[in-house]
Structure 1
Amino acid sequence: MIQIGVDPDETVAARRARAARLVREQHGSDLVVLPELWTVGAFAYESFASGAEPLEGPTAEAMADAARDAGVWLHAGSIAERDPQGPLFNTSLVFSPSGALVRTYRKIHRFGFDQGEAVLMSAGTDLVTVPLPQTTLGLATCYDLRFPELFRALVDAGAQTLVIPAGWPDKRREHWTLLARARAVENQSYVLACGTAGTHAGVRQAGHSIAVDPWGETLAEAGHDEEILTVDLDPARVTATREDFPALKDRVLGR
């Protein structure tokens, strides 16, 4: 997980090139994850429209090249996507080791309470999973973390590893790590929650990207600054946890 820093004095083009370089340096990893809206900044609402890109835009092109050069599966975080019909979406991009864009996820729960992202961007509607050779990813983004029903649906769709890029504010950092662990425990899944460092439009970011195993144990956690977390996951641990403590089988509501 690359907890990239967002510096308002760094141009988007420079940050894009730097992120691509950092991805290339992860050669030998299976999966690399970037945060939410790391190009424009999750709280830089005034930049959403001007910084929006199509799915085949410069960020997608740079990330596809980086994934191919590193030979990794790449969850490239999310971009401000401009749909050909006009609406904006907060859209995550997942690339295969060949550089192909294999999945996109449009954020379902938009933050802002009738302001900011909640007004400026449209809501996604689709659950998205990504089958990898080792595990199946379930995709969510930032504010989605507060809505457990989304993650239960992802697990029902086969997800074993929940990937959550975010631009989470520092003043709610305790919620960030608490909810990441809760989603892991209740769904008996790995959680990879990748945040940003730095400041988005004056809002200090929480950082503290965190990897949690299916039993709720923290495998690694970053600090506030830009940092890269490298974590070894054992895909068999998901199955073992669900078999040893089969709580998911006792569900009554939501079936």
Structure 2
Amino acid sequence: MRATLIQLRVDDTEDAAARRRRAADLVRARAGDDLVVLPEGWAAGAWNHATWPRDAEPLDGPTARAMSGAARDAAVWLHAGTIVERAPDGTLYNTALVFGPDGGLRAHYRKIHRYGFDTGEAALMGAGERVVTVPTGSGPIGLATCYDLRFPELFRALLDAGARFLVVPAAWPAGRLEHLRLFVRTRAVEEQCFVLACVAVGEHGGVRQAGHSMVVDPWGTVLAEAGEDEEVLTAVIDPSEVDRIRSELPVLRDRVLGIAAPRR
């Protein structure tokens, strides 16, 4: 399986339409890959809170149409990062889109854990409620986004849903880069899955992005890691490693479920 993370630069000098064209061209250039991934919120700007109402779009909006065409032209599975989705009832969501090699929208995932505490995403967006996996020829992909990395319960749910690969687009602040590295490797070891984290670079909304997109195997080994500039990062993944490592170190069979909290 050949997987590519497009570590896209997102800044305040380029509008959404221009970024869509550039991202589509970068995806089309990946013909021959199996899976291509883009970062979180790259079209609207994941930290440009003030412009979200203007740039929000439906699931079949301009970003989805551009990414559908690019996936079809390249004949790849495309995790197109996330958009600011405006649902039919007007609620905004941070929503991931996954397209098949035919350009069809195969899945969407509304981010469950919203960052910002009482501001930003947490205040302006609705919370997703569904755990989402996508069946592919290489195995099921589990979907999570950025801040979700801090919540292991979601990743256990994705594991239980059959995920063998975990794809995490992010717009992670540069000041917390070491947290990102720690969480990506931890989730890989914890779930004995491949984790592919695609992180934006540049600065928008006053927040500098961390970059350092990475592909980590189920043993926790970093197979590939990007730097701090826009970059196309490719890794060759052997899906059979999931079974080999789970067999070699069968910790998942020793899980004890339903542990009750002690009475106080």
* Shared fold (TM-score, shorter chain, > 0.5): yes
Which of the numbers 62, 66, 75 marks the counterpart of 1:62? 66
Which of the numbers 4, 11, 15 marks the counterpart of 1:7? 11
| 2:55 is the alignment partner of 1:51 | yes
Q: Distance in 2 between matches of 1:84 and 1:206?
A: 33
Q: 2:100: which partner in 1?
A: 96
| 2:129 is the alignment partner of 1:115 | no
Deviation at 1:7, TM superposition (A): 2.2
For 1:65, what is the secondary structure of its paired residue? helix
Deviation at 1:114, TM superposition (A): 1.1
Q: 2:153: which partner in 1?
A: 149
| 2:175 is the alignment partner of 1:171 | yes
| 1:110 aligned partner, one-letter code | R
Structure 1 residues 33-44: aligned runs within 5 Å: 33-44=37-48
Q: With the length of structure 2 as denominator, give the TM-score of the two structures.
A: 0.95
Q: Distance in 1 between matches of 2:61 and 2:206?
A: 27
Q: Which runs of 5+ in 1 are unaligned?
A: none
| 2:209 is the alignment partner of 1:214 | no
For 2:24, what is the secondary structure of its paired residue? helix
| 2:84 is the alignment partner of 1:80 | yes
| 1:30 aligned partner, one-letter code | D
Deviation at 1:253, TM superposition (A): 3.2
Q: Which runs of 5+ in 2 are unaligned?
A: 260-264
Between Structure 1 and Structure 2, how many residues are aligned?
A: 255
Q: Distance in 1 between matches of 2:96 and 2:257?
A: 30
Q: Distance in 2 between matches of 1:183 and 1:90?
A: 21
Runs of 4+ in 1 over 3 A off after TM superposition: none
| 2:233 aligned partner, one-letter code | L
| 1:253 aligned partner, one-letter code | L
Deviation string, structure 1 residues 104-134 (Cα, Å, up to 9, x no partner)? 0000000001110001000000000001001
Deviation string, structure 1 residues 196-251 (Cα, Å, up to 9, x no partner)? 01012111000000100000000000011100111101000001111110000000
| 2:116 aligned partner, one-letter code | G
| 2:140 is the alignment partner of 1:136 | yes
| 2:105 aligned partner, one-letter code | L
For 2:107, what is the secondary structure of its paired residue? strand
Deviation string, structure 1 residues 20-76 (Cα, Å, up to 9, x no partner)? 000000000000000000011111110111110000100000000000000000000
Deviation at 1:11, TM superposition (A): 1.4
For 2:101, what is the secondary structure of its paired residue? coil
Q: 1:71: which partner in 2?
A: 75
What is the aligned-residue identity percentage? 62
Deviation at 1:254, TM superposition (A): 4.7
| 1:158 aligned partner, one-letter code | G
Q: Distance in 2 between matches of 1:182 and 1:254?
A: 22
